[in-house]
Structure formats: structure tokens, C-alpha cells
Structure 1
Amino acid sequence: MQTEKYTITMLVENEPGVTARVTGLFASRGYNIETICGAPTANPEMSRITITTNASPEQVEQIMKQVRRLVNVIKVRDMTGDDAVRREMAMICVKAQEPHRAEIQRIVENFRARVVDTGQSHYIIEATGSMEKIGALLRLLEPMGIKKVARSGILALYREPG
């Protein structure tokens, strides 16, 4: 069965256990969650959960039907298409030995990232963009020596008309 990467976002009631019920649904059906990100919205009574998963179109349809049935879920949308803006944030701790500092700075500038912490032997870099952009940045920094990486997972919003 051919699978693709899908981004699903849901508006849910901001109550304890909602994320556990959503992830439990995925686990009980054997669907893998590649990334998950959740936080309150502008309305403190609601949260937005964004999940990326590899699935077939039929599986995604089933996932969305089953998620809609959960009590605390208000709205579910497939954000995979071009009409959504998707971004990820990463923090990367990289070794910054003297011979490589200028090269790291150049790479950071080219990716419109920024150094948020500087030590004698390291930089912590903050970057936002598509998963592909973050992956490309990591590949370029790898020869310098990546010490740690923290990635947020995908966030997505539909583009507003006009």
C-alpha cells in the first residue's frame, strides 16, 4: 500500500486527557505519529493539535472519521495541500571550534536562522521552516559536530483568502 506524509490538525477542547485520547486512537489502530505538536489557541478554552503521519489516502480518511468521533474534538482538517502554511522550529547545539565559527555563521545566515546562545565551544541555533529546510540545515552542520537537536514538529494553518 502506497503511503504519503499527511498533516492533520484538530481543534479540541483544552482539557486534561484530550491529547492522550487522540494519541491512543492512533496507537490502537496501528497508525504511527511522526510528529505531534499541541498548544492553546487564542481562545484559552481550545487547543490545536497538529499531527504528521505516513499513511495511505484510505487510512487518513479513516483516521479523520475516527478522530471526529472523539468527544472533545471540535474540528479536524487535512492540512497536506498547498493551501496550508506548514512550519517547524528546531534548536541545534553544534560544536563551534575556532576554525569552523565563520562557516557556521555563514550557514546560519543563509538559512535565515539565528544563533541564540554562544559558548566557548558551541553555538545553539534556532531555525524555522519546512521539514526539508531543517533537514538541509542539519546536513550542512553535521560535519562541524552536532551535539543535540530539539525539533518542534509541524505547525500548520490554512491560508486566509485575499
Structure 2
Amino acid sequence: MNTTHYPTAPTAQPIARHTLAVIVDNEPGVLARIAGLFSGRGYNIESLTVSETEHEKHISRITVVTSGTANVIDQIKAHLDRLVPVHRVVDLTLQGEAIERELCLLKVVGKGDHRVEAMRLAAAFGARTLDATLTSFVFELTGSTEEIERFIKLMTVVGLTEVSRTGIAAMSRGPDAM
């Protein structure tokens, strides 16, 4: 029972990570408009991937990973929905557990024991060797963001010199299309 005339202080909403799939017309400036929407309102993009998915219709899929409170995520989705080239916005996080994968290329430089350890770690993670010289390797690993992060951390010890990552590609589970 509230014994005061003042309303109780609002409780802070938790910040959660959301993966949004945005279907858009593939035309010049669309990506800039979407990125501008995020930056203009102070929202952060943690991961961004874009590719044309329907060549005949010139439709692209943009996968954006961002974080915020439930209200902020709702605002982001509403702002995206109002953009002219956007056909639909789907919050894959709300649809249940989505499948998320990322591709990573890593260059490791080393000799002797470091070289042997790099090969052992790559095999343990299921990474493919794309290039090998007497002093370096380039590995390819596809997996969850957490798995990629663990691989990078371990490879740092044996001579990691360069990393290139694609960002997250995601899709909801089950038979239904977006």
C-alpha cells in the first residue's frame, strides 16, 4: 500500500541485445539512411550485414544487431518501419531463438611451438586453413559470436596479427519465412 501522495519512482528497464532483420529495396542510399537513423538518434549498431537476397526484385536484407531497453528497441523498429525503402522489420530476438552465425578470417604469424599450437587450436575449433606459409597462417572460422571471440582470444597468445569479421547473419528457426 502506497502511503505517500507521490508516485513511485519508475524502475529501470533492462538493456537487451536484439537482432533485427530489415527487408529493403536495393537502391543507392538505403544503407546510409538506415545508418543515419541510428546515429542521428544516438543508437549503437553492434553488427551490420547487408546483401541482396532477391536479385529479380532488387530486394536486400539488412541484419542489424543493437542493444537497448524495450522502449528503445520499439522506437528503433518504428523509425525503421517509416523509412520509404523498408518493406518490413522483424525482431528475430522476439521470435524465439534465432540462428546466428558470423564468419571470421584470422592471420597468425609465428614459428616453432607457436605454429604447432596455432594449428592445434584451429583444428579444435574446426577452423579451415586458407593460406599457409613458413611463417604465417590464415584461418577461416564460422560460428557464434561467442565462439569467434574465444578463438580470437586464444589465437592472440600464439601470434594473432590481423582479424576480419563479417558481422552476424541471422535467421529464425522453423518452417515459416520472415
Question: TM (normalized to structure 2)?
Answer: 0.86
- Give 1:48's match in structure 2, choosing from 58, 61, 65: 61
Partner residue in 2 for 1:61? 74
Partner residue in 2 for 1:77? 90
Partner residue in 2 for 1:24? 36
Task: Decide whether the 8 Å contact of 2:115 with 2:158 is kept in 1.
Answer: no
Whole-Å Cα distance in 2 between the matches of residues 159 and 40 of structure 1? 21
**AA at the equivalent of 1:87:** R
Residue 83 of structure 1, CA deviation: 3.2
SS at match of 1:142: helix
Using the TM superposition, name which of 128-137 and 115-124 deviates more: 115-124
Partner residue in 2 for 1:129? 143
Partner residue in 1 for 2:45? 33
List gaps (5 residues or longer) in structure 2: 1-11
Residue 108 of structure 1, CA deviation: 0.9
Question: TM (normalized to structure 1)?
Answer: 0.94
SS at match of 2:89: strand
- Give 1:86's match in structure 2, choosing from 91, 94, 100: 100
**Are 2:114 and 1:104 equivalent residues in the alignment?**
no
- Give 1:138's match in structure 2, choosing from 143, 152, 155: 152
Partner residue in 2 for 1:5? 17
Partner residue in 1 for 2:5? none
Partner residue in 2 for 1:158? 172
Residues 90-145 of structure 1: CA distance to partner in whole angstroms, max 9, x if unpaired?
Answer: 11111131222222122111111111011221111111111100000011111112
Q: Over alpha carbons, which structure has the higher Rg?
A: 2
Whole-Å Cα distance in 2 between the matches of residues 41 and 141 of structure 1? 34
Residue 161 of structure 1, CA deviation: 2.6
Whole-Å Cα distance in 1 between the matches of residues 117 and 84 of structure 2? 52
Task: Decide whether the 8 Å contact of 2:106 with 2:164 is kept in 1.
Answer: yes
CA RMSD of aligned residues (A): 1.5
